[in-house]
Amino acid sequence: MSIWKEKVNFDPKLYEEVDSFFENLHDNETLEYRPIQHTMALDIVDAIKNKEILLMEAGVGSGKSWGYLVPLLYASKDKDNFKGFLISTSSIALQEQLKTEIEKLSKMLGVDIPITIAKGRNNFICKKRLEDYIRHHDEDKNLKELEKKVNAGHIDKEEYQDIPNYVWKRININYVNCNSCIYKRNCEYILKREKWPESKYVICNHDLLTESLKRDNNDLILQDPSILVVDEAHNLEEKIRNSYKNSISKSKLEALILKIEFMINDDDSLDGYENNPIIESLNKVFRMISTKAKYKYRKNAKENIDVFDEETSGFDVSSSLKEEIVNLTSRLDSLISEASNYKYLDKRLIGTINALKDNVNIFKDLISDNSENIYWVSFLPNTKDHITLDYVRKAIYKEASRLLSNNNYGKVFTSATMTTGDGDYNYFANNLGLNRINGVPIIKEYPGESPFDYDNNALLYLCNDCISPKSSDRELYLDILATKVDELINITEGRSLVLFTSKEDMKRVYSKVTMNNHDFNIMLQTDDVSADTLKTRFKEDEHSVLFATGSFFEGIDIKGEALENVIITKLPFPVVNPIIEEKASHFSNGFREVYLPEMIIKLKQGAGRLIRSSTDKGIVSILDPRCREYQDIILESLPFNNVTTDIEEVKSFATDKLGIAKIKK
């Protein structure tokens, strides 16, 4: 029976084609009918027609890409009325995957459309920067061959996977002013960009989408499409926030000060850095901020070991720091006034003065009672010494709402992890300011469950005999955690992904576990091995165990017996930082409204690593006794009905379902 319902103001032909496609899958011998795809596809037809906002969480294996691609391809047959689609994803790999799926579907549906993959500028080689790099490394013969390929128009990073990252950073387009480049007229990247708005069917990533929406209408990736689909939408808020992030470094500010002094000083008698009262004041301000940031960093790290993974810290603005910043800004204002009245005020000097003014305004905002920004420091990588002062606008949801407020087209936001609790989209919608967009209906489709058989193929183990990660006895906590991890990886004879929220904990537990003898390989995520390489090694070594953190909570897709055991060592609450604190400050119960939803979304991502196909089986274990406090919302959010706190049931599941030899007591 069809699930299609007739609605007001719909396009009957488009509905009929989309509905018929999915109805026919019931009798298809090679393709599987999935109700969530059907529901999603018809909702998207509505979003196209009525210019609605659609929120649609689709569980792992639901095939959400077909759910939105089928209606988009059918709609594209209407050349007169359909203005095209823009799909945004979280990575280039997903862009390429979607293009492949579109090509496959196009053949099935008899729809031939040219797909454009739009990538950010840092994915392309800059001819001018390459020339500069070669000039300083002319002994490298490989660079000459690279230059020949670039001159022939081959500038996409996809063609140069063997170029080391440190070289790529020095030759890509990321840090260059294209407008003043001598190769601007013939630049392959600029030629590509100019063609994007002419395309009707574009796949980009979230970074590029954000940058495009921030620019004026003349530089959009696609001029007013009929529909925007944001896949992996749970990452969009962070991408938007990062695009507004800025920083002030002491060295760059010093350079601006000395440049102005040099330009307006007629007798060339400059003291430079020595005995310069403005530079001395600047140094004092940065020393005070650094000291306060280190103090707060150490204080937070005592309460939460996860902070040790951070290269950032908040800091308190004391009265003494305020006083010194007032002193600094007063001196800088005097310099700006003197420079603005200089008799030879040219364009170069005006530009430098304006740059200094921007920095002065940031310092004034920092000590204001009604500051517009959130401030923190970033430490030099792997040290806690040199810092930059970083900042971003407070209410980023207002900026997100403005970027997404164009009512000329429908918008679809989809992911496997958008809700908290029983179908609650509020946290996601509020973070993007979607509820602030006037005149547009927001359709919140009840989350589509994964079609995979969790009842028979998966078990959730909530450990109740570990101790809290908040325990004051750190060594005891790590000993018990290591013992439990060792027991669990032995139950499944390896085949395990062990997820940590702290690199420090990961290394300590790895050291303890590997002291025991195992018949399988235990791998550790390290900075000197790429994530892709590590995933490949883990996948190919079927009995191996991988200890990982960070990005491995999502983006790892390993089907089959190589991964039958996901162990989450700690509930992934976010680290306390100025951004999280600011978000929480708007609620009477910031923990409930911010920290808990953030944890649930991350937990769903981690647990989602286990079942990746209809034949997958396995166990997810959470080794954090705080599960008891949040059990209701955890069980509402995860797809497991088969739940236990008994390790003997875990062993029985491994024996009965995974075919593991019976565990000896």
**pLDDT tens by residue, 284-339:** 999 999 999 999 888 887 777 776 677 889 999 999 999 999 999 999 999 999 99
**pLDDT tens by residue, 86-118:** 999 988 888 989 999 999 999 999 998 999 999
Q: How far apart (Å, rounded) are the C-alpha atoms in residues 476 and 226?
A: 58
- The larger pLDDT score, comparing residue 3 to residue 83, is at 83
**pLDDT tens by residue, 493-524:** 999 999 999 999 999 999 999 999 999 999 99
Min mean pLDDT across 130-144, 276-290, 607-621 is at: 130-144
pLDDT for the residue numbered 458:
97
Structure tokens of 136?
Answer: 């300083």
Q: Is the pLDDT of residue 175 over 80?
A: no
pLDDT for the residue numbered 4:
37
Please check whether residue 117 is in contact with residue 203, taking contact to mean a CB–CB distance below 8 angstroms. Answer: yes
**Residue 591, amino acid:** F
Model confidence band, residue 143 (pLDDT cutoffs 50, 70, 90): confident
Q: How far apart (Å, rounded) are the C-alpha atoms in residues 522 and 510?
A: 8
- Chain-centroid distance, C-alpha 353: 36
Helix (H) or strand (E) holding 229: strand 227-230
Q: Is the pLDDT of residue 622 over 70?
A: yes
Please check whether residue 545 is in contact with residue 494, taking contact to mean a CB–CB distance below 8 angstroms. Answer: yes
Q: How far apart (Å, rounded) are the C-alpha atoms in residues 534 and 514?
A: 18
**pLDDT tens by residue, 565-601:** 999 999 999 988 999 999 999 999 999 999 999 999 9
DSSP 517-581: --SS-EEE--TTS-HHHHHHHHHHSTT-EEEEEGGGGSS----STT--EEEE-S--PPPP-HHHH
pLDDT for the residue numbered 6:
38
pLDDT for the residue numbered 495:
96
In 3D space, the residue among 384, 388, 160, 349 whose CA is nearest the CA of residue 256 turns out to be: 349
Please check whether residue 509 is in contact with residue 569, taking contact to mean a CB–CB distance below 8 angstroms. Answer: yes
Model confidence band, residue 7 (pLDDT cutoffs 50, 70, 90): very low
**Residue 515, amino acid:** M
pLDDT for the residue numbered 270:
53
Domains and CATH numbers, the chain: 246-393 (no CATH), 454-656 (3.40.50.300)
**Averaged pLDDT score across all residues of the chain:** 89
pLDDT for the residue numbered 441:
85
Q: How far apart (Å, rounded) are the C-alpha atoms in residues 316 and 296?
A: 8
DSSP 181-225: -TTGGG-HHHHHHHHGGG-SEEEEEHHHHHHHHHS-GGG-SSSS-
Model confidence band, residue 8 (pLDDT cutoffs 50, 70, 90): very low
617 secondary structure, DSSP code: -
**pLDDT tens by residue, 347-405:** 999 999 999 999 999 999 999 999 999 999 998 765 666 789 999 999 999 999 999 99
Q: Is the pLDDT of residue 124 over 50?
A: yes
661 secondary structure, DSSP code: P
DSSP 35-60: HHHHHHHHHHHHHHHHT-EEEEEE-T
Model confidence band, residue 449 (pLDDT cutoffs 50, 70, 90): confident
pLDDT for the residue numbered 617:
96
pLDDT for the residue numbered 268:
57
Structure tokens of 513?
Answer: 């576990």
